[in-house]
Amino acid sequence: MRAAAALALIALGLAACSPGAPKGVDKEKLDAAVSDAIGDPNTCMMIAEQASGRVVYRYNTATTCDRQLPACQGAAQWKLKDLLAATVKDGQPRTLSCNTTADASRGVSWVSGPIAGKPLVYAAVMEGARTFPGRMMADRLEPRLKDVGL
Q: How far, in Å, CA of 30 to CA of 143, rounded? A: 12
Sequence-separated (6 or more) residues with CB below 8 Å from residue 64: 41, 42, 43, 44
Q: What is the pLDDT of residues 11-42, one digit of tens each?
A: 333 444 678 999 899 999 999 999 999 998 89
Angle at 96 between CA 135 and CA 90, to 5 degrees: 95
pLDDT value at residue 10: 39
Convert the pLDDT of each residue in 117-138 to its tens digit: 999 999 999 999 989 999 999 9
Q: Which SS3 state, helix, strand or coil, does residue 43 take?
A: strand
pLDDT, tens only, 60-108: 999 999 999 999 998 999 999 999 999 999 999 999 999 999 999 999 9
Q: Which fold has domain 20-147?
A: Beta-Lactamase (3.30.450)
For the chain, which residues make up each domain, given as ranges?
A: 20-147
Question: At CA 95, angle to CA 45 and CA 137, rounded to 5?
Answer: 55
Cβ 120 vs Cβ 150: under 8 Å: yes
pLDDT at position 15 is 42
